[in-house]
């Protein structure tokens, strides 16, 4: 396939469709109407010569090809986001960027509260969104909508580098 004839924005829609298995949810995630998302799905079906999502009962299921596309599409989008967000040097004093962090209440209280107070003076225009730990946090990290997690081992994503921050007994 000639990439000059392929709308690369369709990959973002494909990722939303594959993750949500729903035209309505994918449209909401993409800020598109259900009919616009259906149109994107039709174009994707034509490109891949596959239904991608098929009705099974009252829900949609991924075809074998769609299941095979989940990780490669996600990886491509993460690489593109990383390339777009690359800057020459991070300067906390002038940076204007939101960060999202998943952490438990105890980690937030013991570890992050002091750190965030310190960062407020060092990086006055950087904001932090604290999110709860759980399976959704892992999914958000893999989708690139979460920047960082401080979590127990069972929530760690094998797709991202990890390090032991502390051990609790």
Above 90 in pLDDT, residue 166? no
Give the Cα separation of 47 and 106 in Å (integer).
Answer: 48
Of the residues 53, 85, 117, the one at which a domain ends: 85
Mean pLDDT of 28-47: 92
pLDDT mean over 80-91: 78
- pLDDT per position as a tens digit, 103-150: 988 889 988 999 999 999 999 999 999 998 877 887 888 777 888 899
> Percentage of the chain surpassing pLDDT 70?
98
Q: Which residue has the tokens 């750190």?
A: 115
If asked whether residues 14 and 52 sit together in one domain, one would say yes
Task: Read off the CATH number of the domain in which 154 is found.
Answer: 3.40.190.10
Per-residue model confidence (pLDDT) at position 41: 95
CA angle 61, 64, 69 (to 5 degrees): 95
Judgement on whether residues 121 and 95 belong to the same structural domain of the protein = yes
Q: Tell me, what CATH number does 81's domain have? A: 1.10.10.10
Least confidently predicted of 15-19, 29-33, 134-138: 134-138
Domain count, the chain: 2
Residues 68, 113 within the same domain: no
- Judgement on whether residues 78 and 102 belong to the same structural domain of the protein: no
Question: What does pTM read for this prediction?
Answer: 0.56
**92 and 44 in a common domain:** no
Residues 95 and 142 in one domain: yes
Same domain, residue pair 27 and 56: yes
| Domain residue limits at 15 | 3-85
**9 and 73 part of one domain:** yes
Secondary structure, 3-state, 68-123: HHHHHHHHHHHHHHHHHHCCCCCCCCCCCCEEEEEECHHHHHHHHHHHHHHHHHHC
- Of the three residues 36, 54, 85, the one that is the final residue of a domain is 85
Residues 91 and 74 occupy one common structural domain: no
76 shares its domain with 97: no
Q: Is the pLDDT of residue 14 over 90?
A: yes
């Amino acid at each position: 396939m000639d990439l000059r004839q392929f709308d690369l924005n369709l990959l973002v829609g494909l990722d939303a469709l594959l993750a949500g298995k729903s035209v309505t949810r994918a449209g909401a995630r993409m800020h598109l109407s259900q009919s616009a998302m259906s149109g994107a799905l039709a174009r994707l079906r034509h490109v891949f010569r596959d239904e991608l999502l098929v009705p099974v009962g009252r829900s949609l299921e991924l075809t074998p090809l769609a299941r095979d596309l989940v990780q490669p599409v996600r990886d491509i989008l993460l690489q593109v986001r990383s390339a777009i967000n690359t800057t020459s040097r991070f300067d906390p004093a002038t940076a204007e960027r939101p960060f999202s962090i998943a952490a438990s209440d105890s980690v937030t209280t013991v570890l992050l509260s002091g750190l965030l107070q310190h960062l407020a003076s060092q990086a006055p225009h950087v904001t932090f969104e604290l999110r709860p730990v759980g399976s959704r946090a892992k999914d958000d990290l893999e989708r690139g909508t979460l920047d960082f997690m401080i979590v127990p081992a069972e929530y760690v994503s094998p797709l991202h580098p990890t390090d032991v921050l502390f051990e609790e007994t």
